[in-house]
Chain A
Amino acid sequence: MTYEAVIGLEVHVQLKTRSKMFSRVGAGYGHPENTLTDPVVLALPGTLPVMNKEALDKTIMAGLLLGCEIAPECKWDRKNYFYPDLPKNYQISQYDQPLCRGGFVEIELPGPARNVMGEHKRIALTRIHLEEDVGKLNHGEGVSLVDFNRAGTPLMEIVSEPAIHSADEAFAYLTALKTVMIYGAISDCDMEKGQLRCDANISIRPAGSASLGTKVELKNLNSFSFVRDGIASEVRRQIAVVEAGGVVAQETRDYDGQTGESKSLRSKEMAHDYRYFPDPDLMPVRVGDEWKSAVRALCPELPFDKQRRLQKDYGVPYTITSVLVPDRGLSDFFEEAARLCDNPKAAANWIANDLLRELGSARLSLAQSKVRPSHVAGLVKLVETGAIVSNAAKEVFIDMFQTGDPPDRVVARKGLGADVGAGELERWCSEAVAANPKSAADFRAGKESAINAFKGPVMRAAKGRADPRRVDEILRRLLAG
């Protein structure tokens, strides 16, 4: 029998806000333990939460970007459970009235080849709600210490419908979601920093069936590839259980990315009763049309929309747009360069190939790059007008990258201009023909490739500055004469 996997993902995304969800203390990663705390975060007696508007703005933006319906009112509930990393021993969350409902994430599946665009699909969302993050337990020898720096960080929970059917789709979903979040400056989604965390609900059913099987929740999927591998292995495990005549148990399993194995954490019977109720410390907040419009005005173009537009408007091929678009800064860089020159494809190539290569080997970010869009556009123009030849252009680019000088200044400084004197070029060509009568005879006898024997010496004499097309023209004229 063949089986179909049915997967729903619960993704937690930390919002990139200046302060915490319900207090004024700063939010961030990598600070000394327990320095991002205050009486509210530590839940000292008598303290009260006050909502962070920036977190609401960002969640509304996430909802608008993903086509969700935004609730007219933002209401808060308490989710009660005891855990040492949860200072109040309840989490302020949204239970029955999430801020965003519905919507979808557009994903791209792997194509048949690397340079061919894959199939696009829409994965439906159930809801997005806002809550506060918990602290972190650090277990040592015989002691456990709590770091509350993360506690109270604004956290979105993005819940998909059980509409994902393979590990590859799950991977594509996360990739697309992360790109959208980064485009909106909603989150950096760095999984290593815990800014994006993912749990998967997985079940299997006979292919073609419409019913849902028993679901297993898989936790601790702490990298994109662990998500893919973990889901694939869980689907295999469930198929093996069913094939062996067994029944999949409803449980929560913990995935170990190192071994590729999962083990049971708790069964359904041990599920919590969270005793949700409306938080009496927080008033519901109305989200009116004016507020939504203000956020909508700040929404960026969606990544896949941008990719389609770059391909259509600038004729940039898929292989290049798939490099440019996932990075909003890089694609903006490209568009600026494209506006400043007449050959956007050439600009795109410089950026996607040379710039990224140089940044990579220098371990720099785009923001640190001395090469600006105007430099790239200038370089493209110099090549277009024949002012420099392509070999020289490569050298100019590397120089620009190191010095930050504009391309014309680099060309002048290094004498890389293509304007070799016409007389000089003519002379080098004559000398090359004269020095090699055998090849001249071969060419005249019809051996087309023999002409290449003259080009090397000419280019060497020109130190690479000669335009190969002109050299070819001159040689043919001389040999014909």
Chain B
Amino acid sequence: MNFFFAIKSDYFSCELTIPKFQNDGSQVNSFVPFECFIKNNNWIIKKSDYLENENFFFINEFNINNKKIFFLSNDNEIKKNYLNLKNNLVDLNSFTDTKPIEFRCNLKIFIKSMGFSSYQSDYSYKMTKIKGSVLSPIFTLLNRDADRNFIIFKNIYYKPLEDKFNGYLIDIKNKSIVKKFELYTNFTNTIEIQKHEISDNIFFYADGFSGIPIYISLKDGHISMEHTHPPHLYILGDDKFLKINEIKNYVKKIIDR
């Protein structure tokens, strides 16, 4: 099961387009978008406000914020899991677990009458169970020539926690911390990156929880948005987790000094 998320920002608007079909064309007619958010340390689940056509649900900018997450389900599944859902996100169905190509809920950010950019907003249930850490290069997708650059870091944790944890910009060559900032669980975090911070040795590091780093650049009304791959995608040999742990331990030593 995948969750979908959006981005609320002062600099652009955002909307979600959720297909009613899998990428092989299969469809389950009873599913509609639900949303959940945390209130008084519990998950609150409700049916989302949406528009629809024959094949898509549309969630507009007025129905999103940085705390809500969305998923496809039906009343029966929600009713059956109601008690459990207060304290845990639950893997309710496998409709959005598609392979080899992952289910795409289209997250579009846009500036009215100007630029726009799309991203595949899927966050797997499996990932919500992971604490761990995230390491991602920032030079790859940010742009020194842009007017503004942002890292969006989305975490979804299965427990209804709004915990604080640390994020960093790390210079891995000079072994130094360039910037330290606070991140929150179950939140779409936004970190503005200054031009001088965009350099080929600088990495984003989230310490304590997993998540998806998304990179956004804005210039003259144009927008670019894309995520970096997780490190395990780059190493196909049996040593992949060994190598990833080595580099994450290297970074951890820099921040623990």
Q: Do A and B come from the same complex?
A: no
Residue ranges of B at the interface with A (Cβ–Cβ < 8 Å):
none
